[in-house]
């Protein structure tokens, strides 16, 4: 099978798509949709988001050093898109989408109540990389919606129906194909003793 050779570009898809809530020092808040987000470190827990400096929320994150990453779901797909294509300079995104502000525990930025997981973050480093600046942040608190706890009281994010972003499209996550380590897991011998 032949492959075409293209100029360098970002083709790492699909990506998690999240709504990042922010607030400035005066308390004005905003929501920005970010698909350039990822895990950076386990201990201490850290993640990153990359934002263009011309985005309205950028200055809020830069001046306060805080934000909340709110995971998205199929039910939140419309609001997720809206918060990515409308500017907080022009509209109150909470009001326009019907999303609910919720006070965070440790940061001034609000959480989005309808999100299944809210991750409070404090910026540790900013890397000015070109079109986007990367905010590397420490996770200072995590909130999980109890309605997604399974029978064994474990959090099951898949029940929330998370979405991803791929090449301009929002996609539902599919069916489970395996679990971590399943490719090397030993099969138990099920023969009965005689």
pLDDT tens digits, one per residue of 91-128: 999 999 999 999 999 999 999 999 999 999 999 999 99
Q: Which residue has the tokens 């990515």?
A: 84
Answer whether residue 61 shows pLDDT above 90. Answer: yes
Is the distance from CB of 19 to CB of 31 less than 8 angstroms? yes
How does DSSP classify residue 18? E
Extents of the domains making up the chain: 15-172
CA dist 72 and 19 (Å) reads 7
Q: Which residue has the tokens 């959090």?
A: 155
CA dist 119 and 104 (Å) reads 9
- Sheet holding 15-16: strands in order across? 15-16, 163-166, 169-172
Confidence (pLDDT) at 194: 52
Cβ count within 10 A of residue 40: 16
Here the tokens at position 175 are 């069916």
Here the tokens at position 8 are 């360098």
User: pTM (2 decimals)?
Assistant: 0.92
Fold of 15-172: Pnp Oxidase; Chain A (2.30.110)
């Amino acid at each position: 099978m032949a492959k075409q050779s293209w100029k360098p570009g970002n083709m790492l898809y699909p990506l998690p798509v999240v709504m990042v809530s922010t607030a400035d020092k005066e308390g004005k808040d905003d929501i920005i949709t970010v698909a350039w987000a990822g895990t950076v470190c386990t201990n201490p827990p850290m993640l990153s988001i990359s934002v263009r400096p011309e985005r309205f929320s950028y200055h809020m994150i830069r001046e306060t050093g805080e934000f909340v990453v709110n995971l998205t779901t199929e039910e939140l797909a419309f609001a997720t898109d809206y918060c990515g294509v409308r500017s907080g300079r022009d509209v109150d995104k909470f009001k326009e989408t019907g999303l609910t502000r919720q006070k965070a525990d440790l940061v001034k930025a609000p959480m989005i109540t309808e999100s299944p997981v809210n991750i409070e973050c404090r910026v540790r480093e900013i890397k000015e990389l070109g079109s986007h600046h990367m905010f590397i942040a420490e996770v200072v608190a995590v909130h999980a919606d109890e309605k997604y706890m399974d029978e064994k009281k474990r959090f099951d994010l898949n029940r929330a129906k998370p979405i991803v972003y791929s090449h301009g499209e929002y996609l539902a996550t599919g069916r489970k194909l395996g679990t971590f380590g399943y490719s090397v897991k030993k099969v138990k011998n099920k023969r009965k003793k005689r």
